Amino acid sequence: MGKTSRVEEDFQDYLHEMDAYREVMMLTYWDMRTKIPKKGVDQRSEVIGFLAEKVHQLETSEKMKNFIDALRDADNEIVRKSIEECEETYHKSSKIPTNEYKEYVKLQSKSESVWQEARKKADFTLFQPYLEQLVEYNKKFANYWGYEKNIYDALLHHFEPGITTEILDGIFPKLRDSITDLLGKIEGSMDKPDPSILKGHFPKENQEAFTIEILKQIGYDFESGRLDETIHPFEITLNRNDVRITTRYDEEDFRMAVFGTIHEGGHALYEQNINASLARTPLATGTSMGIHESQSLFWENIISRSKGFWQNNYDLFKSYAPNHFQHVVLEDFYRAINEVKPSFIRIEADELTYPLHIMIRYELEKGLINGDFAVKDLPGLWNEKMVDYLGIEPSTDREGVLQDIHWSGGDFGYFPSYALGYMYAAQFHQTMSQELDIDKLLSSGNFKPIKEWLTKNIHQYGKMKKPLELVEDVTKEKLNAEHLIRYLTKKYTDIYSL
């Protein structure tokens, strides 16, 4: 027993060393995305490559293999689950030569900077050679890791364990048909919201002050985090006591910052409320990208776009908003922020058409990884799918294929998590509503029971449970898209008087 205890202590020390490198790397990423001068990017990419190489070496060392062999059946559940995570990472990482991984990380850092420049100039050709290399690396890694039926499954598993192309190809068509059917009815409605009432110059500092008030309401701890500005909003965790979020402001349309900040706040609440006993272990993070997205989309859409939320917060909003909002009644405001209108930009999409944006990206990256077409074909294929799914065609690469940051980081397999997260969120919401009077809590401004329910059922576990296991434990059923379909149908039938 004493010997085992000593091995566990050594293992924890080893995890702490890995976590220290990871935290420095996350801080470096945060700085690159928010503060770094343009000329500092190349050397910073070298630094990130060095840190990534050190983490990779620790993950794949003989010492790690010895820990895995010694502690696979440990009595301590946290140690045992940590070993499971380390073993999976060990087998994945050890299959990638260290020098290849280091070069890949350097490429990621550089390509993100090039993507920003290409997006600014609306010129895909600037980014194309970097994306071609990222695609080839991901194909190579997927083959290293192995897969059963589809090479893309190897990448999906990285972000959403248990999900395959077979599952997505079974769920997405039904969801698409339901959304497009509802969209057709909405387009034929004679009772539409008036979005023009939302326009007007809204100073950035006022938007920031309002969103900070909302973040505090929903339980984001500013003593363990901060809010900054960036091109593409994100949440990043250095540790559970330093969880940072960013946003982007549009002074002519407050919705970008308000709902985007709440979205990132949902991610942050998850990370800040993981059980402290998991700190500095590989379990101290969200169990998957999809479950993470369920938390951000839950707060952004199901909560902050609800009527109850604004019944409590509309007066606060008007205290920061332009004067003309003093004459806008709550009902009109509520309907306007929930307007359905196909748009080019994913992060600006309404909640009904949002999943269609994800399905477009899923089909494109699945095709890229399977070699069905080349990177150079992306702009044209992107535009074709936008017309097919949403009936609109981007006029520039900026509002088309260059709008998302994900591919510049090599995150293939990530996008489906957004749609899965939306389905998870609706399923969690259905279960929560059986235990809590959510509308009453929102209209009274009492968010605490909602946050506590999420912490109790989801947040605290970190990666102790796999995503589909967590969904079934919480909701007592398997992944079920019907909850999202019913939620959207009920909400928009009311808003558009269908």
* Residue stretches of the annotated binding site for Zn(2+): 263, 267, 293
Catalytic residue among 53, 112, 160, 264: 264
* Residue stretches of the annotated binding site: 263, 267, 293
The 3-class SS string of the chain reads: CHHHHHHHHHHHHHHHHHHHHHHHHHHHHHHHHHCCCHHHHHHHHHHHHHHHHHHHHHHCCHHHHHHHHHHCCCCCHHHHHHHHHHHHHHHHHHCCCHHHHHHHHHHHHHHHHHHHHHHHHCCHHHHHHHHHHHHHHHHHHHHHHCCCCCHHHHHHHHHCCCCCHHHHHHHHHHHHHHHHHHHHHHHCCCCCCCHHHHCCCCCHHHHHHHHHHHHHHHCCCHHHCCEEECCCCCEEEEECCEEEEEECCCCCCCHHHHHHHHHHHHHHHHHHCCCHHHCCCCCCCCCCHHHHHHHHHHHHHHHCCCHHHHHHHHHHHHHHCCHHHHHCCHHHHHHHHCCCCCCCCHHHCCCCCHHHHHHHHHHHHHHHHCCCCCHHHHHHHHHHHHHHHHCCCCCCCCCCCCCCCHHHHCCCCCCHHHHHHHHHHHHHHHHHHCCCCHHHHHHCCCCHHHHHHHHHHCHHHCCCCCHHHHHHHHHCCCCCCHHHHHHHHHHHHHHCCC
* 264 classed as catalytic: yes
Residues carrying an active site annotation: 264
